[in-house]
């Protein structure tokens, strides 16, 4: 039940940000200065990272290549989950360029980008990423 509530919250956040993000070609919201925010904790809040995976410019792979890219994409998600870097991941079921999301536990935006850039779907250009800092009260939600 908690996981469903968290997933619902993330979906609401994504929908709220959708129109704002259409004109942005950068990875990060133009209104948020990632360079000046290097803290992980803000008083009683814990910062996570919401990563959107969107359709990339290179989606013309043949079916065999798509299968290999997807298998490597899933293997990378599983590896990062075992390392505790991806808390939650999954596809989005809407007709849009938004393909999926990650909720990541990383110290800063550099670490987020480093881990997402290990994804074969991102490396090949099949997907592109956009990421945003997201805070929640410490201890309010327990991710396993």
Residue 128, pLDDT score: 95
* pLDDT digits 0-9 by tens, 116-125: 899 999 999 9
> 47 is written with which tokens?
């910062």
Record the pTM.
0.67
Give the dihedral sign, CA 90/93/97/98.
Answer: negative
* pLDDT digits 0-9 by tens, 45-71: 788 999 999 999 999 999 999 999 999
Q: Which pLDDT band holds residue 5 (cuts at 50, 70, 90)?
A: very low
Closest CA to 49 of 76, 95, 80, 94: 80
* pLDDT digits 0-9 by tens, 80-102: 999 999 999 999 988 789 999 99
- The CA distance from 105 to 68, in Å, is 27
Q: Considering the chain, what percentage of its residues have pLDDT values greater than 70?
A: 66
Higher pLDDT, 119 or 12: 119
| Mean pLDDT estimate for the chain | 77
Residue 142, pLDDT score: 63
Pairing between β-strand 41-42 and β-strand 98-104 as defined by DSSP bridges: unpaired
């Amino acid at each position: 039940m908690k996981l469903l509530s968290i997933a619902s919250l993330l979906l609401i956040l994504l929908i709220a940000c959708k129109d704002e993000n259409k004109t942005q070609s950068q990875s990060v919201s133009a209104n948020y200065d990632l360079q000046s925010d290097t803290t992980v904790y803000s008083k009683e809040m814990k910062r996570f990272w919401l990563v959107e995976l969107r359709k990339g410019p290179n989606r013309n792979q043949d079916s065999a290549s798509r299968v290999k890219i997807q298998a490597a994409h899933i293997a990378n998600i599983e590896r990062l989950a075992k390392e505790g870097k991806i808390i939650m991941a999954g596809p989005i079921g809407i007709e849009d360029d938004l393909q999926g999301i990650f909720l990541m536990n990383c110290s800063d935006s550099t670490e987020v980008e480093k881990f997402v850039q290990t994804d074969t779907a991102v490396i090949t250009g099949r997907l592109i990423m956009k990421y945003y800092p997201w805070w929640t009260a410490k201890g309010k939600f327990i991710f396993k």
